[in-house]
Structure 1
């Protein structure tokens, strides 16, 4: 068999299992210029669940380390590049069995090693390397992957007696006889999964098989680029790109020949999109930051929520009056609520604080840095209005509008996303009445406002239809008791119902 020398191979961070989408580099075990062998541990990484030793599937010289210690990498990102060693040896496929020239492993040896690791457990926890999980291993061994020789496909007798010896290989790993030719299937095989293609694909990674199945890629039609003829992830990715760029072709005829029978399963998989369970979406960017902060809030803050229904008719009338006083000026409901919250924090400063857990102190602020929740295409962000206590209602309205536009355009400066002391969330824009909002860590309180709807309301002893909304306050029970939280919420509700109360604090 002709030797295939590996000049340079890029190894990407593999699928670490359990739905983990990324890992952090802890320590490199090799450096640029070092010589590595197949399955040598090259790096320690840490996932959200455990520390993992990562082996490299190639032999040769380390050319590049693509990330430094402390760097977080997503699955599939470049990890290490390995090239031919000084003697010109790399991962090759040659010889009948055992070690190939240049220190590489032959095709049959690679299959045999993989089978042994599946039975005994190699200790490697990477997908496709074998972990010794009992049930999964036995399930793999029940499914056979073999190839029918051309003579058997036409009903003739087998010309090789080594087929039975190869029938035990793991599914997805191609079977080759010692002469490098396809091995025949053992007589009497009734496994419908047995392929009829002249060359079964050699695939070690279950991730690669799943990608091919999901995109309708026929593994047998791919030209493997991995050592010992292994089909790699990049081979499938390139095939997906080619399939997407090709123009639609005429429907294939019904399979009437053995060759067409061989491609029938692949055609069927393209016609019926496979469903392999739920879609997994990595937490990245803004979504990840929000998840981390909210998780920390729920973990660290003993929060409580109180709420009240209020008659917002008077507040809406004030809004209209302010806008009518100066044509073209817009004062939103959020700006009015912000003005009320700032006044309320002046009366109840306990809620404008945070808890320093290391020093076991409550840090109370004299300035009000008001955060407000803004929904953008990139996710939920909380811009911060600095020194809101110094602004008028009109100035607050202008600043809220400016920051909202910057957030939606993705141009919000980083310093405007941190340092808040109190947050206002108008979830009523989503058409909901109420909520129990999560405090924006490390703040101590958050006020939420629901939608305004027409409801029957008693006014001066008579039933009337009024504009009613619900206000909810989540607060850190470490900084105050229910009396303070209830006093603040009641003050806010009174200002909403009778905005003239605000004049006492102007």
Structure 2
């Protein structure tokens, strides 16, 4: 039995997540009311305009209240949870009482030891008229677990979470009133994929059981003021589906709109014979060792071209009316994920070889798919490589990733008729495009950069001059 004597509640607020972020959306709670948490244990997963992060609580004790349902946006400084600290509940395992507060309130900071495994405090069923021990706080007041209140009854049981491939899938089901427990996942070990939810929603819409714009299930009681924040800002008319522009998708929308407003961009393009580049990659991979990706070779070509045309590795300081040129290349690359378009950044790409670039592209791509990219991995780029050929298209005129000054686009590589050695032949052809800020250079510089890239694609030996 837990003892209430000497216990007091501390309120943990949404901390400053850095990078100028002022708000975050609750994606998934990692603790329930009544859970015993250790110092610096992650208690909630939130999505900011930069990334998905887990927020650790600096207090150790019993969670007595949660503020905000999944899908709710909270500003920095808003209450997240309250924790009863002081005399720790005895679990019979011999755990000793620890410090109440680590003093660490920023994401990524914590004690040197990993937090202990989350344990559930045994709770007794409340007497009639009393709130359930596992319920959320209805107001700002703390909800003390029944074990602390000394109420008697049978212990509470609860089902485990339904395995889904990402929090977005869970949110999609919740917003459309779909019970995930009724679905059979088509992924490994029954994992529910986004396609499973979309198929179920289409089937339900056809049968009239669930409309695509149905309101979510009635939320559980929550902290005062958060219910209104969780509601949509507009009601969708019949035949409409409204998706809020928030989180990463909202941040991307804002950045693209700003780029269009502020940057006088222009695009030039050229077709290149990539047959020799593909042969060179095949030869590299046949020699043993880690496999080299095509994206890594294109990145290596980019950094060599930027060394020759540094004007494109820059940004414009509009207030100072200055062009700021960088002596390093932090190479961004566009990656499409279930959460929207993200642009992870490979730091110091100019100093990496093809093997290092391949490994870093793979690491950042996987982090993007799982939603674990950090704000630092999504900011600070000086030039972007956009391989839109993976979508099966030949060309594009992309929007520059503000505040950068240029972006190289690469289309699909496909067999096409090509004049080679004075004769018509079938070659592997790719379209390359360069979108650039016309304030940092003129068309001659941009054309020279793109022509050099094309020459390296057609004759990879050209790169030997800069290796």
Q: TM-score, normalised by structure 2?
A: 0.51
Aligned twin of 1:280:
242
Aligned twin of 2:287:
325
Q: CA deviation at 1:277?
A: 3.5
For residues 292 and 325 of structure 1, do their structure 2 counterparts lie closer, same or farther at Cα, with a shift above 3 Å needed?
A: same
For residues 320 and 237 of structure 1, do their structure 2 counterparts lie closer, same or farther at Cα, with a shift above 3 Å needed?
A: closer
Structure 2 unaligned regions, length at least 5: 1-22, 24-66, 79-137, 141-207, 221-235
Distance in 2, Cα, partners of 1:238 & 1:457: 59
Q: 1:313 aligns with which of 253, 257, 275?
A: 275
| Pairing 1:356–2:317 present | yes
Aligned twin of 2:339:
378
| Pairing 1:476–2:441 present | no
For residues 67 and 393 of structure 1, do their structure 2 counterparts lie closer, same or farther at Cα, with a shift above 3 Å needed?
A: closer
State how 1:178-327 maps to structure 2 within 5 Å.
Answer: 276-327=238-289
For residues 324 and 361 of structure 1, do their structure 2 counterparts lie closer, same or farther at Cα, with a shift above 3 Å needed?
A: same
Q: 1:496 aligns with which of 454, 457, 461?
A: 457
State how 1:387-466 maps to structure 2 within 5 Å.
Answer: 387-466=348-427
Q: CA deviation at 1:275?
A: 6.8
SS of residue in 2 equivalent to 1:318: helix
Are 1:312 and 1:497, in contact at CA under 8 Å, matched by a contact in 2? yes
Cα deviation digits, residues 142-195 of structure 1 (max 9, x gap) = xxxxxxxxxxxxxxxxxxxxxxxxxxxxxxxxxxxxxxxxxxxxxxxxxxxxxx
Aligned twin of 1:198:
none
SS of residue in 1 equivalent to 2:418: strand
Q: TM-score, normalised by structure 1?
A: 0.47
Aligned twin of 1:345:
306
Structure 1 unaligned regions, length at least 5: 1-21, 23-63, 73-79, 83-213, 218-235, 242-273
Distance in 2, Cα, partners of 1:315 & 1:289: 36
SS of residue in 2 equivalent to 1:493: helix
**RMSD (Å), alpha carbons:** 3.3
State how 1:31-110 maps to structure 2 within 5 Å.
Answer: none
Cα deviation digits, residues 13-62 of structure 1 (max 9, x gap) = xxxxxxxxx9xxxxxxxxxxxxxxxxxxxxxxxxxxxxxxxxxxxxxxxx
Q: How many residues align?
A: 257
Cα deviation digits, residues 389-428 of structure 1 (max 9, x gap) = 1111111111111111111111112101000000000000
SS of residue in 2 equivalent to 1:308: strand
Where has structure 1 moved over 2 Å in runs of 4 or more? 66-72, 214-217, 236-241
Q: CA deviation at 1:239?
A: 7.7
Q: CA deviation at 1:311?
A: 0.4
Higher percent of residues as helix: 1
SS of residue in 1 equivalent to 2:404: coil
Q: CA deviation at 1:215?
A: 8.4
Cα deviation digits, residues 335-367 of structure 1 (max 9, x gap) = 000000000000000000000011111000000
Distance in 1, Cα, partners of 2:73 & 2:219: 27
For residues 442 and 458 of structure 1, do their structure 2 counterparts lie closer, same or farther at Cα, with a shift above 3 Å needed?
A: same
Distance in 2, Cα, partners of 1:288 & 1:479: 28
Are 1:215 and 1:240, in contact at CA under 8 Å, matched by a contact in 2? no
Distance in 2, Cα, partners of 1:383 & 1:344: 21
Distance in 1, Cα, partners of 2:335 & 2:458: 25
Cα deviation digits, residues 77-120 of structure 1 (max 9, x gap) = xxx989xxxxxxxxxxxxxxxxxxxxxxxxxxxxxxxxxxxxxx
For residues 331 and 70 of structure 1, do their structure 2 counterparts lie closer, same or farther at Cα, with a shift above 3 Å needed?
A: closer
Q: CA deviation at 1:500?
A: 0.2
SS of residue in 2 equivalent to 1:375: strand
SS of residue in 2 equivalent to 1:432: coil
Aligned twin of 1:205:
none
From the CA coordinates, give the structure whose radius of gyration is larger: 1
SS of residue in 2 equivalent to 1:289: helix
For residues 281 and 321 of structure 1, do their structure 2 counterparts lie closer, same or farther at Cα, with a shift above 3 Å needed?
A: same
Cα deviation digits, residues 291-344 of structure 1 (max 9, x gap) = 0111110010000000000000000001001111115x2111110000000000
Structure of greater relative contact order (alpha carbons < 8 Å, 6+ residues apart): 2
Are 1:448 and 1:471, in contact at CA under 8 Å, matched by a contact in 2? yes
Distance in 1, Cα, partners of 2:401 & 2:465: 30
Aligned twin of 1:51:
none
